[in-house]
Chains A and B, each alone.
Chain A
Amino acid sequence: KAGVTQTPRYLIKTRGQQVTLSCSPISGHRSVSWYQQTPGQGLQFLFEYFSETQRNKGNFPGRFSGRQFSNSRSEMNVSTLELGDSALYLCASRGTGESPLHFGNGTRLTVT
């Protein structure tokens, strides 16, 4: 089974721009979550989607948004980028019921 796939692997953006990151979950997984990883704050939960609906949300500003499509693929958008948004953005998926999260290799976003 293919793992969680994230594109692109690397992105460089300028402050004030917006960015869209893409994630394809493991086949059959309908729950997709997004996390931000930084050296200072560690791994922090952004949001979780299930069946195209946002079920849970972390403590991030409204500039961070996401969506999920009918094929369970997900996108995350960050608008009005700030220098502090530079991070590794990780997508994770899980199967139905109680099951562990499986992460992709992330998108490294650098904001200059």
Chain B
Amino acid sequence: QQQVKQSPQSLIVQKGGISIINCAYENTAFDYFPWYQQFPGKGPALLIAIRPDVSEKKEGRFTISFNKSAKQFSLHIMDSQPGDSATYFCAAPDTGRRALTFGSGTRLQVQP
């Protein structure tokens, strides 16, 4: 139904730096492509989501870039802060059913 590959598996960034996480999906889909942030002991919290007919969406320090032809999308965290240290998941809509296929996650550590 869908395949999603997320990279890198882990990322260490200095405070104030830019964090970039990439995802690639296999099948064209027409629903939202979301990014989730998860802290230990919590559920995934919706961070930002983009429709596939939009190439970029920015909300505060978080930006999604979406390349429909390459079937890739990425999350950019500007001015990364220690409070951003968490695991980030991308997801792509399944084809043929109303569900999400998730990437394997990226553990981000922002050093002070």
Chain A residues at the B interface, C-beta cutoff of 8 Å: 4, 6, 31, 33, 42-45, 48, 55-58, 88, 90, 98-106
Residues of A within 8 A of B34 (CB): 100-101
- Among residues of B, the one whose C-beta sits closest to the C-beta of A44 is B102
Choose among A98, A101, A105 the residue that contacts B100 (Cβ–Cβ < 8 A): A101
For the residues of B in contact with A, the DSSP-based class is: loop
A-B contact count (CB 8 A): 56
Alpha-carbon distance between A102 and B101 when the two chains are bound, in angstroms: 15
The answer to whether B89 touches A56, judged by C-beta atoms less than 8 angstroms apart, is: no
Residues of A within 8 A of B41 (CB): 105
The answer to whether A105 touches B32, judged by C-beta atoms less than 8 angstroms apart, is: no
Residues of B within 8 A of A90 (CB): 43-44
